[in-house]
Each structure stands twice: as C-alpha cells, then as structure tokens.
Chain A
Amino acid sequence: EAQVTQNPRYLITVTGKKLTVTCSQNMNHEYMSWYRQDPGLGLRQIYYSMNVEVTDKGDVPEGYKVSRKEKRNFPLILESPSPNQTSLYFCASSPFWGGELFFGEGSRLTVL
C-alpha cells in the first residue's frame, strides 16, 4: 500500500532533549516536506527536499533540522526542543514539486 509513515505518532518530551521524528515513503517520490499545524495558523512548511541531499527552508525552519540521505526517508530533528515547538507535525511527499502531496497521519509532539 502506498503510504507516508511517521513515527512516533505521539510524543511528550522535555525542553532540551533531542528528538527525531521519522518519515518514510514507499512511492519513490522525489519531493518531501515537513509541516507543522497550530490552531489559528493553519499548516506552515518547515523544510522541504527536492531530492536526495537537496533540502531547503520553508516558512518556519528555526529550531529544526532535516536530512535526506535516502530517497525514501526525511527525518525531522529537534536538537533542543522548546515548548513553542509543541505542535502537530505532518510529513508529505510528492512525485515532483507541485504534484499531488501525500501526507502522513501526523505526529503530535508536546514539549514540557
């Protein structure tokens, strides 16, 4: 089944404790991206990747890192999480930039 898989789906952590949210797609898509969703602010893009080893900042990249060493994986790294990074995170992939985006089920992160 074609899908985008995120892990973990739910996580409660404390300020400063590094964490990684994994994202994997099995559709051989070139384009992948991360979004965060907050009440009243809609979906905002954090980082995106046009292909392996090609990443770029979205609208709200501060406090996040990403890597794209393999085509199928695009992990989101929070080196030192802070409470303002408490949010619902979505990973998405597309066969090309501007194509239909396929979203994962979301990862709800709480930073205390």
Chain B
Amino acid sequence: LAKTTQPISMDSYEGQEVNITCSHNNIATNDYITWYQQFPSQGPRFIIQGYKTKVTNEVASLFIPADRKSSTLSLPRVSLSDTAVYYCLVGDISAGANNLFFGTGTRLTVIP
C-alpha cells in the first residue's frame, strides 16, 4: 500500500494560487491519486482524482508527472473559505480487499 508524504501546513494570501505537493514514491501501476478536503468538525469531501498528466474540474487541478512519484493539487485564487486540511490518497481503485491511507494531511490557512 503506497504511503504518502505531504507538508504539514501551508499559509497563503487570499487570491493567490496554492500548490500542495504530495510524494508517493512507492506508487503502484494500478494506483490512482485522490485528494480530499476537510473543514473543521466535518467529514472529508472529495476534490479530484487522477492517474497521470493533468486533471481539472471546477474546483482544482491535479498535476501528475510522468514517473507518478508525486502529484500537485493546485487551487486557483484561494479564498478564506478554502482554509481546510487537504489529504492526498493513493490506491488501486480496481483492487479487492484493501484500504485507503489518509495520513495527517496538509493544513492550509488562507490569510486575508
């Protein structure tokens, strides 16, 4: 099961683009990369998922280099409401009995 490494915390000013990088050196061929967001006292919420290159949705972009040993979640023009913990998960979505490792995530604080 591929474990991930993320920065513990990051600060950013409102309106800036924020990039959170996740390291997953032991990623397996069938593993996908998924990011979740968690606000205080709430359950995590799915943001984005990808396998390689770039994925974009209305909330964020996910950049995955060719070797897939890392990935970067990009949040464009953050606002105060983006202050949250962001988790990077790596797992084989086609596998049978397995589980996902959330870790401690990256605490993003957006400053006015």
Interface locus among B12-20, B71-79, B101-109: B101-109
A35 touches B97 (CB 8 A): no
**Which A residues are CB-close (under 8 A) to B43?**
4, 90, 92, 103-106
A101, B24: Cα distance in complex, Å = 21
From residue A96, how far is it (CB to closest CB) to chain B in Å? 8
Interface: A110 (CB within 8 A): no
> Within residues 20 to 57 of chain A, which ones have a CB less than 8 A from any CB in chain B?
33, 35, 40-45, 48, 50, 56
A43 touches B99 (CB 8 A): no
A106, B97: Cα distance in complex, Å = 24
A101, B34: Cα distance in complex, Å = 10
Interface: A70 (CB within 8 A): no
Q: In this complex, what residue of B is CB-closest to A57?
A: B99
Q: Sort chain B's interface into a size bin.
A: 20 to 34
**Which B residues are CB-close (under 8 A) to A45?**
99-102
| Number of chain A residues close to chain B: CB under 8 A | 27
Interface string of A68-112 (1 = CB under 8 A from B): 000000000000000000000010100011111111111000000
Interface: B45 (CB within 8 A): yes
**Which B residues are CB-close (under 8 A) to A99?**
93
A98 touches B44 (CB 8 A): no
From B95, B101, B104, A97 is in contact (CB under 8 Å) with B95
Q: Given A92-B43, A103-B43, A103-B45, do A40 and B98 touch, yes or no (CB 8 Å)?
A: no
**Which B residues are CB-close (under 8 A) to A41?**
104
**Which B residues are CB-close (under 8 A) to A56?**
97
User: 21 A-B pairs, CB-CB below 8 angstroms?
Assistant: A4-B43, A33-B99, A43-B44, A43-B102, A43-B103, A45-B102, A50-B97, A59-B101, A97-B93, A97-B95, A98-B91, A98-B92, A98-B95, A99-B93, A100-B46, A101-B100, A102-B46, A103-B42, A103-B44, A106-B41, A106-B43
